[in-house]
Amino acid sequence: MTKPRIVAIDDEVEFIDMLESYFGLRGYEINAAVRGAKGIEMVKENKPDVVLMDLKMPGIDGDEVLRLLKAMNPSPKVIFITAYDDGGKTKARLLKMGAYACLDKPISSLRDLEATVNKAVSN
């Protein structure tokens, strides 16, 4: 099985570096952006299978990026990784909007994240 192509969008540079290192060392093609607008450009250029994304970012936030990605054809699977917590309301809304999954930050296991990425692509 070919490894999924990933675009990561998060305004935390350290988190992006960690994702690039983890997935890159395991043979995934991963591209990253620290702004939503740049992330959308990367998605258009690289046509990833999966987008790993934060919710709260300056400029275009995760909600708007998700709306724009869902309008693309083909649309990548979107996995939110966010520290934002409002008792699950936002996560439920994002899933209803078409996100594949919403995970809590800090991420407890990169291995579990990798399993979620692979599951998203196989569905």
pLDDT for 86: 83
pLDDT in tens, 44-80: 999 999 999 999 988 888 889 999 998 887 789 999 9
pTM over 0.75, yes/no: yes
What is the pLDDT confidence band of residue 1, given thresholds at 50, 70 and 90?
Answer: low
Q: Show the domains of the chain with their CATH numbers.
A: 5-122 (3.40.50.2300)
Residues with Cβ within 8 Å of residue 9, at least 6 apart in sequence = 32, 33, 34, 35, 36, 38, 39, 42, 51, 52, 53, 54, 57, 62, 65
Res 10 pLDDT > 70: yes
Q: How far apart are CA 111 and CA 98, in angstroms?
A: 24
